[in-house]
């Protein structure tokens, strides 16, 4: 009784991907991949996703530490707030970013007056949009790793004379490295695929803000073959992420 819906579900998940592989213009693929527009979108995507991940690591790991290792009033509320970008439609995130970091927004005006920096419709804006959407993945992953880590090792470090910072750097961080890596990979793949917040906050300018997902969407109107090629690239990236995380996610006990 369960077999029919189960197989239908499987087909539903697998067939589109198989169709993509089937429809791919394999013979002209190398030439199409070498097209400057494709390379440009690919480069922009990789660079912005990587910088966004670095930003998430820089801000997200300390935030995860704060959530896992300290107790302060409103900690539960803070954790709830952090997960909001997870469930928020990305377009809404883009609109929110525009309101705050836009030229008329409070933070955006301050950034422009103080540093001459404008975020909307720039590559920096792409990074901000991606980081906004992807950071919860990292924070939640790292917080879980911190909670799972044996805190007695931190006590040992303290009795050996290590300050909190030394303990964190030389003991805690190496112990939770697998969790941080997993979080970073997840964060990176989410940033790579980000569409809604990016197009709303950073726009869609080839070379500066047009990342792969945006290029795919645009190409579908004008050059469906190019859209398929770009999609294949994103699919390859996703498969690579899956391979990198297979130990943690795919294998079930």
Residue 74 Ramachandran class (φ > 0 left, ψ -120 to 50 alpha, else beta): left
Q: Rule CB under 8 A: is residue 252 a binding residue for another protein?
A: no
Helix, strand or coil, per DSSP, at residue 74: coil
Smaller CB separation from another protein, 153 or 205: 153
Residue 56 burial by Cβ neighbours in a 10 Å radius (0-12, 13-18, 19+): buried
Residue list 52-81, contact with another protein (CB under 8 A): none
d(CA 42, CA 45): 5
211 secondary structure, DSSP code: -
Smaller CB separation from another protein, 45 or 172: 172
Residue 246 burial by Cβ neighbours in a 10 Å radius (0-12, 13-18, 19+): exposed
Applying CB under 8 A, among 104, 155, 242, 247 the residue interacting with another protein is 155
Smaller CB separation from another protein, 83 or 163: 163
208, 122 Cβ separation under 8 angstroms: yes
CA within 13 Å, CB half, 141: 25
Q: Rule CB under 8 A: is residue 181 a binding residue for another protein?
A: no
Which region among 23-31, 123-131, 147-155, 224-232 touches another protein (by CB under 8 A)?
Answer: 147-155
Q: Rule CB under 8 A: is residue 156 a binding residue for another protein?
A: yes
Applying CB under 8 A, among 70, 159, 222, 251 the residue interacting with another protein is 159
Q: Rule CB under 8 A: is residue 148 a binding residue for another protein?
A: no
d(CA 99, CA 201): 9
Applying CB under 8 A, among 28, 163, 240, 242 the residue interacting with another protein is 163
Give the tokens for residue 141.
């992953």
d(CA 208, CA 203): 9
Q: Rule CB under 8 A: is residue 171 a binding residue for another protein?
A: yes
Shortest Å, Cβ 246 to another protein = 23
Q: How many residues bind another protein (CB under 8 A)?
A: 18
d(CA 216, CA 227): 5
Applying CB under 8 A, among 37, 88, 175, 235 the residue interacting with another protein is 175
Applying CB under 8 A, among 41, 140, 142, 157 the residue interacting with another protein is 157
177, 128 Cβ separation under 8 angstroms: no
Applying CB under 8 A, among 73, 74, 116, 161 the residue interacting with another protein is 161
Applying CB under 8 A, among 16, 174, 207, 224 the residue interacting with another protein is 174
Q: Rule CB under 8 A: is residue 205 a binding residue for another protein?
A: no
Shortest Å, Cβ 172 to another protein = 11
Smaller CB separation from another protein, 76 or 152: 152
210, 218 Cβ separation under 8 angstroms: yes
Give the tokens for residue 37.
């527009």
**Contacting positions for another protein (CB under 8 A):** 150, 152-153, 155-163, 166, 170-171, 174-175, 177
């Amino acid at each position: 009784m369960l077999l029919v819906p189960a197989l239908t579900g499987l087909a539903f998940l697998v067939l589109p991907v198989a169709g993509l592989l089937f429809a791919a213009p394999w013979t002209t693929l190398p030439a199409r991949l070498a097209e400057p527009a494709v390379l440009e979108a690919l480069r922009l995507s990789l660079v912005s996703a990587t910088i966004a991940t670095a930003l998430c690591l820089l801000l997200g790991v300390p935030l995860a530490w704060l959530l896992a290792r300290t107790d302060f009033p409103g900690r539960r509320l803070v954790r709830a707030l952090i997960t909001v970008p997870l469930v928020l439609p990305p377009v809404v995130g883009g609109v929110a970013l525009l309101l705050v970091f836009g030229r008329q927004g409070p933070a955006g005006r301050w950034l422009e007056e103080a540093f001459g920096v404008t975020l909307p419709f720039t590559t920096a804006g792409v990074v901000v949009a991606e980081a906004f959407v992807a950071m919860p993945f990292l924070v939640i992953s790292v917080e879980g790793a911190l909670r799972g880590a044996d805190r007695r090792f931190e006590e040992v470090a303290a009795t050996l004379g290590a300050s909190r910072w030394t303990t964190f750097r030389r003991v805690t961080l190496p112990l939770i490295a697998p969790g941080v890596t997993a979080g970073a990979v997840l964060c990176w793949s989410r940033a790579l695929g980000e569409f809604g917040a990016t197009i709303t906050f950073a726009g869609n300018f080839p070379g500066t803000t047009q990342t792969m997902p945006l290029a795919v969407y645009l190409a579908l109107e004008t050059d469906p073959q190019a859209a398929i090629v770009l999609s294949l690239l994103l699919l390859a990236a996703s498969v690579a992420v899956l391979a990198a995380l297979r130990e943690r996610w795919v294998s079930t006990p």
